[in-house]
Chain A
């Protein structure tokens, strides 16, 4: 069963007086457990695609289906619940809360969902999984870039999402650390049966995963592996 489906999706934005087409007739379908990479230059539509996948935006034309539900039929409340329960995010600049400890950062999605008491043990599990349980009481400022991104991955997985969206997760890391992060994400995708959609500039990163796409000028083109 397809986890995500884009059917002939169009999206444009107003930039001053000009209308910019971000996505043109995008069609895609991802299965559960896919590790998808999407490569493209700046302004190609990668971020727009991720925003649509996350339910933060709606298409101008076409349909987006998440587990057979039409995203455009969902209310803002439902979309928020969707992000809370089924989607995880990893950002280029980690975006950890500087005032919370590592443990609290990972726990945060559960706290927002008021499910910390029932699922709190997952925090330790995930921190051990990413190899940082011994740093649980540290603050983000005390960690290296690679460590922070590992924490971000743990945070993104704590609520057992169906989909993991990663926006240039290695963009702020050196190649060695970047490679380690990709390996971690691949392992997580396999261990937790999570569909990973990763956007990147980097062709080497783009070569990872089982499905590859290129996005340029709003058009998504599959690339054979």
Chain B
């Protein structure tokens, strides 16, 4: 117990009291840690909850299903359902229709499930509220061909009751549905955040024009059984193209789909945390320097090195704990913004995301608190070791002045070179399970190498520029420059953290700019049609919304139209990875359109290879992910039997990272019996007739709600989606720079406090106050310039890694590198300017120092 009292007094006197007496720097450090923790936490939460919103909804909708029967991307004949009757003693089968409608008032997409309502409670949990009790209440649900059941918590802006009617846009047609019952807020009613509706299967088949068709059969095993055994038994009864899968498979597909995007975002958010930890190192290191005399005295009095180190660990722990707690609080506010940004990207590029509000559970924040505190302890390792190994006699000498100068470390420089070489080697290594682990590791190595080279960069700058500073800026310039080699540890850290944050900004800017320029060139070359038409409702990448192709043929008679290319796509999987299988009219494409071909014949010759042949073209992403090339064969399971398709060409595509397989319409119809289309494009023979043709199309297809966009409108929209996608990365970059500047600020303040005597001597020698201020600002400027320069060089290198390694291995895209020179120059100027601004307060502190107090020894 006496030990605790002893320790408690030491702790209060040496650690707690100084923290309280230096509120400004303590607050800055805690705030920096808080921002790092908040950013990391909010991104993790956004990623987790986006995933959870998918998986929970899928689980709720699938209920207690042990297996799922479906054909990828399209519906199938319901007569297959009857074939399962022979297994009725082992399984119970539930037929399902699934589709999407757009609620007309709110414009929100609603997933609509059609099931056998009389039986469905066997597999799914739900509770109905009907107008009347018992069978009388259930009858309208089954008998009404336009009846729908809505969850109690449906779209907030849409008021309804039992008996209401609502308008939905389904496959481009307005349909009126009658609310016959309400799902109480439990079980399936909680799926998709309420953007969900239930119908009787017959009604759903009618509403979705799927008479005689099913989308899915959910299977429940009546006795405990092994999945593989049951899978075999069920598959034996069905044609090959009907897949019998585990219910979790859909979740696994979603997870794979989102993985690369989420990992990239997490890596970015980690940079902010890393930079924040440099702040703690800085703070503890300064604390050790300022407390040197006390440490020496304690050691002389019998304190062990372990005790000394422990005190400083605790200081880091307090800052880390305070920062983590504040960070968790800040994360609560950041989380909504992060979720909105992540959902926007996921919605635009991957799948509909229905999560709108953050589910922030305070009791689950423990791991983030521990992470912040744990990393703080790690940051304090080196300064605590320094404190523990401080020689008491050296520091107890009153007025002793630390004359030691860092002369450079060949070992450190050599190690940095080795680290960079290792980074280079890692960039050449392949992905592991489609994920660029080595690519990310190489970026981490570059960060490490940068940190190791910072001391050398400081010395190099000092040696090369001290004459310049001396001749142009006099004594204050010379001192600012030469001071680079004093307190190298902390200067190097401030410079590294600035360099790392700036590296991130530069590399992302180059990557995004290059990507954008590549996309601009690509859409200019690829989007050649004059009008782009699709069914209204949902997004461009939602292939559930279809319209019949028959009426489209009539459109060719409109004066001014040269030809029409019809497009149909479906999400399937190939080698367990999500892929888009699509079809178009290659005869039209070859004559009027264009694709940018990577390998194979040009677009103008594709028709002669592909039409009426078992051939396809694939996108670059598909070819890289599945390691296929021109001449290889891919095998597809189709309703009309297996299809062995030869790859004729590989083309560049940037619309979806999952990759495309594109068949000609003649081949597609041979295997799929699916005449519905998602969209079509119109090539005009007379471009002046654009508006008239638009009106004619709408008139002829007046039964359907359509979205018609011109070439210019579509290109603009593509770029808008692109820009919104990167909104969250820009935010993360700004935060990282701010935290790094905080680190620089902290370093400069600590340098002023350490150099009180030096500043006092300058005033004794006749330096004006403004010269002292100038010295600090010049020093801030030099540190900022070194950090920006290092960040710029590393950023260019990392941009190559991002474009040619990480992006390529994650998404399979070839991006042409373009440097936004003007923007980069602006960024460098901004970073440098902000660094000088960070010196303003420390400069003021320096000005206010009393020279006689600063120099006094006694």
Contacts and interface: CB of A to CB of B under 8 A. Distances in A.
Contacts of B402: 98
Interface string B739-774: 000000000000000000110011111111101000
Nearest to A95: B761
Given A80-B768, A108-B765, A141-B403, A92 B857 contact: yes
A93 interface: yes
A20 interface: no
Given A85-B766, A95-B855, A97-B758, A112 B474 contact: yes
B856 interface: yes
B482 A97 contact: yes
Contacts of A110: 475
Contacts of A99: 405, 479, 482-486
Nearest to A115: B474
Interface string A108-119: 111111101000
A100 B479 contact: yes
B557 interface: no
A111 B475 contact: yes
A87 B763 CA distance: 12
Contact of A80 (B401, B403, B405, B763): B763
Contact of B852 (A56, A77, A80, A116): A56
Interface string B677-706: 000000000000000000000000000000
A84 interface: yes
A119 to B, nearest CB: 13
Contact of B405 (A81, A89, A98, A112): A98
A136 to B, nearest CB: 15
A56 B470 contact: no
Interface in B195-253: none
A57 B853 CA distance: 11
B515 to A, nearest CB: 46
Given A100-B479, A100-B482, A112-B476, A81 B404 contact: no
B479 to A, nearest CB: 7
Contacts of A91: 761, 855
A139 interface: yes
Given A56-B851, A57-B852, A99-B486, A112 B404 contact: no
A138 to B, nearest CB: 11
Interface in A152-176: 155, 159, 172
A194 to B, nearest CB: 16
Interface residues of A, number: 40
A77 B768 contact: yes
Given A95-B761, A97-B479, A100-B482, A83 B766 contact: yes
Nearest to B398: A93
Interface string A30-59: 000000000000100001000100101100
B767 A93 contact: no
A116 B477 CA distance: 13
A4 B318 CA distance: 55
B103 to A, nearest CB: 71
B478 interface: yes
B642 interface: no
B235 to A, nearest CB: 79
B720 interface: no
A104 interface: yes
Given A92-B857, A93-B399, A97-B758, A104 B763 contact: no
A89 B765 contact: yes
A140 interface: yes
Contacts of B771: 112
The secondary structure that dominates the B interface is helix
Contacts of B767: 80, 84, 112
A187 B758 CA distance: 28
A94 to B, nearest CB: 8
Nearest to A112: B475
A146 B771 CA distance: 30
Nearest to B771: A112
A100 B399 contact: no
B459 to A, nearest CB: 11
Most chain A CB within 10 A, of B402, B403, B766, B855, is at B766
Contact of B766 (A80, A92, A94): A80
B401 A98 contact: yes
A88 B399 CA distance: 21
Interface string A56-70: 110000000000000
B858 interface: yes
B751 to A, nearest CB: 12
Contacts of A114: 474
Most chain A CB within 10 A, of B399, B403, B765, B852, is at B765
Nearest to B760: A95
B327 to A, nearest CB: 37
A109 B475 CA distance: 8
Contacts of A87: 766
A42 to B, nearest CB: 6
Contacts of B764: 54, 56, 83, 89
B265 to A, nearest CB: 43
Contacts of B482: 97, 99-100, 104
Interface in B300-358: none
B766 A81 contact: yes
Given A80-B768, A92-B399, A111 B474 contact: yes
Contacts of A89: 761, 764-765
Contacts of A159: 766
Contacts of A77: 768
B476 to A, nearest CB: 7
Contacts of A155: 765
A82 B485 CA distance: 32
B852 A140 contact: no
Nearest to A109: B765
A98 B399 contact: no
Contacts of B758: 95, 97
A141 B404 contact: yes
Contacts of B765: 83-84, 89, 108-109, 112, 155
Contacts of A100: 478-479, 482
A76 B851 CA distance: 13
A141 B769 CA distance: 28
Contacts of B855: 91, 95
A55 to B, nearest CB: 10
A174 B261 CA distance: 70
Interface in B812-858: 851-852, 855-858
A87 B399 CA distance: 23
Nearest to A156: B765
Contacts of A116: 470, 474
A16 to B, nearest CB: 16
Given A56-B852, A93-B401, A113-B766, A42 B858 contact: yes
Contacts of B399: 92-93, 172
Contact of B857 (A54, A83, A93): A93
A99 B478 CA distance: 10
B759 to A, nearest CB: 11
Contacts of B757: 95
Nearest to B485: A99
A111 B758 CA distance: 16
Interface string B785-803: 0000000000000000000
Nearest to B762: A112
Given A56-B764, A99-B405, A139-B403, 11 more contacts: A54-B764, A80-B763, A80-B766, A89-B765, A95-B757, A100-B479, A104-B470, A104-B478, A109-B766, A112-B771, A114-B474
30 contacts: A51-B852, A56-B764, A56-B851, A80-B768, A80-B769, A83-B764, A84-B765, A85-B766, A89-B765, A91-B761, A92-B399, A94-B401, A95-B761, A97-B482, A99-B405, A99-B479, A99-B482, A99-B484, A100-B482, A104-B482, A108-B479, A108-B765, A110-B475, A112-B475, A112-B476, A112-B762, A112-B771, A116-B470, A141-B403, A159-B766
The 5 closest A-B pairs by CB, nearest first: A84-B766, A111-B475, A99-B482, A112-B475, A141-B403
